[in-house]
């Protein structure tokens, strides 16, 4: 635990120093993505467009979210690029806290896209053995739980 | 059922845990008949892969008998004796279709962690942390096998359990290193590490036509085993300067293909050993890459280096200059086992591959913690401890 606190303190001090230096114009900062809130989330599905949306019917997971959807044939015979983004998006991307609380509207769209891909490619969405737990609660486990809590909703799309 | 569980850094115990269940229609339940320790488990044990929870079942290299199948499993039925690939693939995404099974896009239910760490999510792996999907491991009486039609392979009659179990991971991983490392007839190949994977990589290089194969380690019993069972040359890096030795054995060129089969806890000698050890303990360097550095330095100009050992994060003092200026090709991967296992079972059946010698210790599941103590500390000449839950 002491090691964890020390590491957190070092990380916080480092971040603080970086912000201070950046604020004083001594260090270039990485740009915030001004388009973050409106970017399309994309997933490439190893199926042709006519199977992804037969008769223009969207894959079922995408019907459960309020999202704009578009698609095109992927280059190189890679199937279909399927894109979605929340409708009525906010001007700024939702913050880390919102994501941790599971209230980020982009999270639901990301999950729907990933499930659509899995259903179309494999006919199923794989479940984790975590559903029948063998683990017991520990303090380091709590920290891990914070990271793992939203891990199923992440992933590049 | 009984299972070997991770309880904390360097702490294992045998516990009673709930039986696995069919969760997806393409699952099968396998009664584990043999499950072996693997060097990559040591990274979990040592806390170098920080995505383990107390109580997680470990183990990923195994053989067993199918006892139950989901309604959509078509290629297997109860009673089949199967070896199961340690990497879980869906068999139908673009990566699986192109043979890159460890990059499967549908088999990791927790893609957020590896995506954050590496900029892309990877396949699920049995018993290999929640970053790899949170699947239970195989050091147990039973294990659930997702996408069973694609990940379980019927073992031919005549192939022994002790040969077949290594077709789950050590044999295909070694084979992949030689295959994707680009070994061609006439090549000189050097392999760092004489554990199970390193020995299998050396054997694969020979079967792919390499003219000379040199394996490197420091444990006399492993070097002797490699000489006896693989039949290649060996070098002890504690008594020999490896780069100079390889130059001398190759007319000054260096090996055409260098295969690193050691991983993130590579040992080394001299100042480098102290440097990496201190940095890793202070968490200033996640992985110790001594063998990778040496492979890059030893490799001939224009040659190929393949990283088979498991790495998780960041390394220090990586010789990028040597890589670039010598025109090397560097590749790495978790094993794409499904691509090779059917062919490897054939080779084992014909006697061209015989990995059973790796099983230096056979024991019950109850002896799991002792097996890992022998394995981790290289006691009693242990190369692999194989657990047999039902014997």
CA-based nearest residue to B190, from B260, B277, B239, B244? B260
In chain B, what residues touch A115 (CB-CB under 8 Å)? none
Share of chain A above pLDDT 70, in %: 65
Measured CA angle at B255 (ends B251, B258), to 5 deg: 165
Using the beta-carbon criterion (under 8 Å), do A123 and B26 form an inter-chain contact?
A: yes
Q: What is the pLDDT of residues A73-96, one digit of tens each?
A: 999 999 999 999 999 755 455 556
Mutation site, B50, B105, B143, B150, interface A, largest A CB count within 10 A: B105
Using the beta-carbon criterion (under 8 Å), do B8 and A138 form an inter-chain contact?
A: yes
pLDDT of residue A8 exceeding 60, the answer is no
In chain A, what residues touch B106 (CB-CB under 8 Å)? 117-118, 121-122, 126
Asked if residue B307 and residue B193 are part of one domain, the reply reads: yes
Asked if residue B150 and residue B112 are part of one domain, the reply reads: yes
Q: What single-letter DSSP state applies at residue B299?
A: S
Of B288, B305, B332, which residue constitutes the final position of a domain? B332
User: For A132, which of B20, B92, B130 is closest by C-beta distance?
Assistant: B20
- Which residues, listed in sequence order, are joined to residue B6 by a DSSP beta bridge? B12, B56
Q: Which helix (H) or strand (E) holds B135?
A: none
B184 shares contact with chain A (CB less than 8 Å): no
Tell me, what CATH number does B128's domain have?
3.90.180.10
Cβ-based burial of B276 (10 A; exposed 0-12, middle 13-18, buried ≥19): buried
Name the domain count of chain B. 2
Q: Which domain holds residue B155?
A: 2-169+336-387
pLDDT of residue A4 exceeding 50, the answer is no
Q: How far is A25 from chain B (nearest CA, A)?
A: 28
Cβ-based burial of A122 (10 A; exposed 0-12, middle 13-18, buried ≥19): buried
CA-based nearest residue to B37, from B17, B55, B59? B59
Cβ-based burial of B154 (10 A; exposed 0-12, middle 13-18, buried ≥19): middle
Tell me, what CATH number does B222's domain have?
3.40.50.720
Q: DSSP H helical segments within B250-364, as ranges?
A: 270-281, 290-298, 320-325, 341-350
pLDDT of A139: 77
Of B332, B352, B371, which residue constitutes the final position of a domain? B332
Q: Which helix (H) or strand (E) holds B104?
A: none
**Of A36 and A55, the one with more pLDDT:** A55
**Of A154 and B232, the one with more pLDDT:** B232
Asked if residue B189 and residue B62 are part of one domain, the reply reads: no
In chain A, what residues touch B135 (CB-CB under 8 Å)? 128-129
Rounded average pLDDT over A54-66: 94
B137 shares contact with chain A (CB less than 8 Å): no
Residue with tokens 């060129």: B253
Write the CB contacts of B84 (distance below 8 Å, at least 6 apart in sequence).
B30, B62, B63, B64, B126, B138, B143, B145, B151, B152, B153, B168
pLDDT of A1: 44
Q: Which helix (H) or strand (E) holds A67?
A: strand A67-73
Asked if residue B208 and residue B322 are part of one domain, the reply reads: yes
Rounded average pLDDT over A92-121: 79
C-beta of residue B26 within 8 angstroms of C-beta of residue B69: no
Rounded average pLDDT over A90-119: 76
Asked if residue B46 and residue B125 are part of one domain, the reply reads: yes
Asked if residue B175 and residue B165 are part of one domain, the reply reads: no
pLDDT of residue A24 exceeding 90, the answer is no
Asked if residue B56 and residue B157 are part of one domain, the reply reads: yes
A135 shares contact with chain B (CB less than 8 Å): yes
Asked if residue B164 and residue B18 are part of one domain, the reply reads: yes
List, for chain B, all residue ranges whose pLDDT scores fall below the cut of 70: none
Q: A2-6, A34-38, B44-48, B179-183: which has the minimum mean pLDDT?
A: A2-6
pLDDT of residue A20 exceeding 90, the answer is no
pLDDT of A91: 43
Asked if residue B157 and residue B264 are part of one domain, the reply reads: no
The complex scores an ipTM of 0.91
Q: Tell me phi and psi for residue B291, to 5 degrees.
A: -70, -35
pLDDT of A142: 77
Asked if residue B245 and residue B114 are part of one domain, the reply reads: no
CA-based nearest residue to B125, from B59, B197, B39? B59
Pairing of the two strands B233-236 and B212-217: parallel
The total of other beta-carbon atoms located within 10 Å of residue A111's CB is: 19
Asked if residue B178 and residue B324 are part of one domain, the reply reads: yes
Measured between alpha carbons, how far is residue B384 from residues A40, B53, B206, B217, B375 in Å? 48, 25, 22, 16, 6
Asked if residue B98 and residue B60 are part of one domain, the reply reads: yes
Q: What pTM value is reported for the model? A: 0.90
C-beta of residue A107 within 8 angstroms of C-beta of residue A150: yes
Write the CB contacts of B196 (distance below 8 Å, at least 6 apart in sequence).
B36, B38, B39, B166, B170, B174, B355, B358, B383, B384
């Amino acid at each position: 635990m002491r090691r964890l606190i020390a590491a957190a303190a070092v990380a916080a001090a480092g971040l603080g120093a970086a912000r201070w230096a950046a604020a004083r114009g001594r260090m270039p900062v990485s740009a915030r993505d001004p388009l973050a809130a409106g970017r399309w989330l994309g997933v490439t599905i190893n199926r042709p467009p006519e199977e992804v949306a037969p008769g223009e019917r969207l894959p079922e997971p995408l019907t459960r979210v309020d999202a704009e959807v578009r698609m095109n044939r992927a280059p190189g015979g890679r199937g279909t690029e399927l894109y979605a983004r929340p409708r009525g998006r906010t001007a700024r991307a939702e913050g880390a806290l919102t994501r941790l609380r599971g209230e980020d509207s982009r999270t639901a769209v990301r999950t729907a896209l990933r499930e659509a891909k899995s259903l179309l490619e494999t006919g199923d969405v794989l479940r984790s053995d975590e559903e029948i737990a063998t683990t017991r609660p520990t303090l380091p486990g709590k920290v891990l739980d914070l990271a793992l809590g939203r891990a199923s909703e992440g992933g590049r799309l | 059922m009984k299972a070997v569980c991770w309880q904390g850094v360097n702490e294992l115990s045998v516990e009673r845990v709930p039986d696995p269940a069919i969760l997806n229609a393409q699952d099968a339940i396998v009664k584990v008949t043999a499950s072996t320790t693997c060097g990559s488990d040591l990274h979990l044990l040592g806390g170098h892969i920080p995505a383990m929870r107390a109580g997680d079942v470990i183990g990923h290299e195994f053989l067993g008998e199918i006892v139950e199948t989901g309604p959509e499993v078509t290629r297997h039925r109860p009673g089949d004796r199967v070896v199961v690939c340690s990497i879980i693939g869906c068999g139908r995404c673009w990566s699986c279709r192109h043979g890159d099974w460890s990059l499967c896009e549908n088999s990791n239910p927790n893609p957020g962690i590896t995506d954050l760490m590496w900029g892309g999510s990877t396949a699920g792996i049995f018993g290999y942390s929640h970053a790899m999907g949170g699947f239970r491991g195989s050091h147990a009486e039973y294990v659930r096998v997702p996408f069973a039609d694609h990940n379980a392979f019927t073992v031919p009659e005549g192939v022994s359990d002790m040969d077949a179990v290594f077709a789950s991971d050590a044999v295909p991983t070694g084979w992949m290193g030689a295959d994707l490392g680009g070994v061609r007839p006439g090549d000189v190949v050097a392999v760092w590490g004489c554990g199970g994977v390193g020995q299998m990589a050396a054997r694969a290089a020979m079967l792919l036509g390499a003219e000379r194969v040199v394996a490197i380690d420091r444990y006399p019993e492993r070097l002797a085993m490699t000489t006896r069972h693989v039949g290649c040359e060996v070098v002890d890096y504690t008594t020999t300067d490896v780069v100079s030795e390889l130059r001398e054995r190759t007319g000054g060129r260096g090996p055409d293909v260098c295969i690193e089969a050691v991983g993130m806890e590579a040992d080394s000698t001299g100042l480098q050993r102290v440097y990496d050890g201190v940095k890793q303990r202070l968490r200033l360097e996640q992985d110790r890459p001594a063998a990778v550095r040496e492979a890059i330095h030893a490799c001939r100009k224009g040659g190929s280096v393949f990283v088979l050992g498991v790495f998780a994060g960041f390394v220090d003092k990586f010789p990028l200059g040597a890589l670039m200026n010598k025109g090397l090709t560097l590749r790495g991967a978790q094993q794409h086992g499904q691509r090779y296992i059917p062919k490897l079972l054939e080779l084992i059946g014909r006697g061209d591959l015989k990995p059973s010698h790796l099983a230096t210790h056979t024991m019950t599941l109850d002896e799991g913690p002792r097996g890992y103590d022998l394995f981790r500390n290289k006691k009693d000449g242990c190369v692999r401890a194989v657990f047999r839950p039902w014997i």
